[in-house]
Every structure is written in C-alpha cells, then in structure tokens.
Structure 1
C-alpha cells in the first residue's frame, strides 16, 4: 500500500517519468476523466436547480478545497470564528465529523458552554480540536449538514455558521464559498482523482467567491479564475503543551532527541516546520490521516521513542492521545495561520456576507 501511495504522490508532484509511472498514467486516465465528469455533471444538476439546495436563514461561510487534504482548513476555520466573534457575532461550526464513529443524524460536540460532549474517536479529531479552541462556540457534526444547520436554527442562538470542508457539499446553500489552494501547486497536476489530487476539474472555481492560497508568503496574490485571491502561511507556535495541559516554550527542546509523528494529510510539511524551528528530529513517523491510535500504533511509537527525550505531534493527533500512553513526555504544538493582508481579507468577507 505504501508503494502505491508513494507512486501516486510522485505522479501528482513530478509527473510520469519512469515506465511504471507512465503505465499507471494510462491505466488511471479514463478513471480520472470519469470521476471528474461525474462530479461536473452533479454540479451542473445543482446549478440548474435539478437537485435541491437548502437555503438557511443564517449566513453560512463554507471553507473547502479543490484538492484533497493537507491545506490547513482547521486553522482557517479557527481564524474565521475568531474574526467574526470579535465583530460581536454569535458563531457556530458545522462539520461532517470525518474519521469519527458517530452514526446519528446530528451530534453536538460542544453546545458552546465550555463543555466537550463527544470524544474524538466518536466525533472525529477536527471537530473536537475546533471545540477545544473555541469553547464558547457551538460545534455540531452531521453527515447531512443540512440537518445540523436546521438544529442550529431551532435550538441555538447564533448569527453565523462556518461550514467545514464543504465546497463539494452542494446540498446546503452558502453566503460565501471560501476555497483553499496550495500556493506551491494550486491545481496539483491538473487531473482529478485518482490520476491527480483534485476533487473536481479546476473550472469548479467559477462558483467560489474568495480564494486563499496556503503556504504562500505575499499579501494579495494575482487573481486565480478571476476571483479575489489572498495568500497565507502556516506558523507553528513558540510553545508546546503536554498531554496533561502543561505548557512550556519550544526553546528548551532544542538540542534534545525528539521523535516526531503525525497522522495528518501532509505530515512531511509538519516535520519540515519543526526542523525550521530548530528542533532536531531523530525520527519522523508519518501515519495515515485520521489514524486511530490502537495499541499496535502506540507500541510502534513507544519502540521508536526508545532512547529519545520527548515525542512531539500535532494538536489534531493529540486529541486522541492520553498522558499514560507513553513513558516519555509527548508534546503537541499549535498551528496557526497568518493571512497576508488580513484587513483587506476581512473587508472582502464583510462585503460578501
């Protein structure tokens, strides 16, 4: 499995260079075209009104991707929630709850009173992380997100909903479609899954309202698809927190033997960021996105940590870990997003909404 994942990554990032790459390209091309065509057809049915869309009385901001995973939607959702809370808005978050075991119609991860009502293994790691970051914001999960929004309309006093990972979720209408793109490769190799990493053909950006490039540097980027386009970058905090909640600065960790691990869509970017902070990583252990920390996975990490001083991971992984899992300290490091011209970005949000 790891071989095919590596082969696909190389095909997306470097193109078909070797004969196995070219063979895979030929095999996957018709599947990719069919996948893209089916999504285009589905989108056209929504555009023409042949498939129904629920229109809420609440303003809704959708945060989504054109490509699959690893672009940092969670920090962007955090940024939006904090921005509108500072404007005096009562904000709620709705997520699909991917990776969790919840099978009901709608689950309340947090009702906004500071209490966490669902565990990460049930609700999914991202909704729990968002609830921890925003204890006074209701966080709901639902596979059919329309049901969660209807629950917010009935039972919660909110002014605005942030819809996580919903660009392709057309069953719910939205006031703003904010789409994230990787600044280094906005369209990957230009092909939909499985030949590329796009969920839809790039023409889908025509229905976006605002584009945000992640892993960029500048303030305002040249327009893509004639849409207002901004640039942002992810920044690791200067402090870490252990699994019991105690916080220390990153500085004392420099010079220590560190084993880093991450079960996210792009673990290599996380490891690079740690190295850029001056941390010396003796081992880097990538795990599957939304990994379940079974006894076997914990045992693998424990064995890798023999002789190390500390373990370090992402906040997204840490919501599934407990302090008694490891014999050495395990730290999580927060990830935030910095938007180049955040004032202009905020003005665009206000205008669109």
Structure 2
C-alpha cells in the first residue's frame, strides 16, 4: 500500500470516528426530546391514578423529574457513558438488566434472520441480474417486491398457519419448549449457546426448530430489498470495461459473472447493509410479538402499553446506538475494501 493510499485511509478513518461523536449526541438529543414531548412527566403518565399525590411526588423526585430539563439532559447523557439507561417506573427494573436478560433472544433472532436473508438474496439477486429481462428475472423481482412490502406480522401469521398449524412441522412460538427451557442453565441468556454449553444437543435442536419460523419471517422481509440491490449492482458491473475485457479473453460467462462481476457488485451492497440495521431491529420488534419471542422488542411493546417512557427511552436509545455504531463499522469496512470511498 502506497503512503498516499495509507494516508488517505488513515485520514478518512479518523474523520469518520470524530464525526461519530456529534452524530451520537444528535441522536441521543432527539430521543431525549421525543420522550418529553408528551404532556406531564413519565411517572404521572405511567402511575397516575395508582399512587397518591404524595407518592407520585416522591417518585418524581427520586427519578429526577422535579429538576430542570437541562439537568435531566445532562444526567441522561452522562448516564449513557456509564451505561446507565435508567430504571423502569412500573416495575423498578434497570433497563440494562432488560438488555442483559432479553438481549440474547433479540440477538439470536436478528443474526439468524440476517443469514436467512443472505442465503435467499445472494443467489436470487445473482440469477436476476445474470438473466435480466427474462421470465426468471421478472419472477424474482416480484418475489422481492412482495416480501419487502408484506407486513411482518402478516407474513409471520401465514407461516404459522402453513407450517405450524397446517402441516405441523414446526413450533409456532417461543424460543423453545417450556420443559426444555427449564432444563437449560441461563449463562449467557442466548439459549442456543447455553444449550451447547450444557452439552444438551436435544435442547439445542429444539431451539433451532423454534427459531426457523421467526428467522424466516424477518429474513424474507430483508431479502426483498437485498435481491433488488444485488441485481442492480450486478447489471451495472456486467457492463463495465474489465468485464468486457474478460469476455474478450475468452473467459467462460459463468466465471465472468461469479469471479469478476459478482465480487465487485457486492462492494456497494456492503454499504447498504448498514442502512438496513434499523429495518432489521424494527422488524424484530413485530416478529417477537408475532411469535411470542421474549426479546428486547417484546419488552419494549409491553412498556409502551404501560406508558413507561423511561423504559422506552432506554430501549430506543440502545437501538439508536446500535444503528449508528453498525453504520460506522460498515463505513470503515467499505473504506478498506473500496479505495474510492476515501477521497
């Protein structure tokens, strides 16, 4: 690597990391403001009518809502750096405890869904781009549009009716059977990993069976847009000069598509992956509700129903930080594999 190239990469990485700080502060400020747009304080909203005025006043003071908005904002920001996301109002539970206890289920679902999306989108996008303007291309494009546009909960219900209720092949809800869940020691709160640590392969495969339908539901949602992106990038790459040069040298068309065009078509696809994290997390919330999957998303919905805005603020803050952090990592990876990004 030349000194100029390494210097430009170093400059880009430093600049991108420095921009990460104000980006995070802006997002955290937006979350803070949105949680305080509603009239009244979170304690009164969540517990009004369930506590006496004196008890509400004491709870407000304990939570710091009797202080000025600027003091609350300063405590909120400093708490983030201490990984203190607050304490729920309705059940006095630390938000970080919710993340530790239920985060493993959400992580399992999102990773599995992402893998399903790639397994579907990569071959389908490759075929659609290679055989553009054919019946196969049209079919795959329609498939991508339908899967992307279909509501997650509706798609999940259809899969439950087909494979759980109709055919009886797969379970329809939860991370595992109740009896199996009780036998596995929760070390990491990631059920499949805990089952392996216990050496219980039957529990592991029981968890995999329960994971298939929710992961397929969320994976189909992501695959729709991935198919379209891979197809468009592959078509553009197939028109490039170096691909035409490879064809002129007599390289087989299959090798041209897979080894030359497809690799370069994935470079812009990497950038898009970071932009889909928000869609992945949003889809995970609805998927968890549909399949009774006890993750962070299902907890978020429960606290929303209870109007516990402290818990909602903490979970939304976590999701926002996850999206921004993944976007930063994707930008760094993209700069490393594609020199054009650095300039």
Q: If the length of structure 2 is used for normalisation, what is the TM-score?
A: 0.23
Relative CO higher for 1 or 2, CA cutoff 8 Å, sep ≥ 6?
2
Pair member with larger Rg = 2
**Bigger share in helix:** 2
**Bigger share in strand:** 1
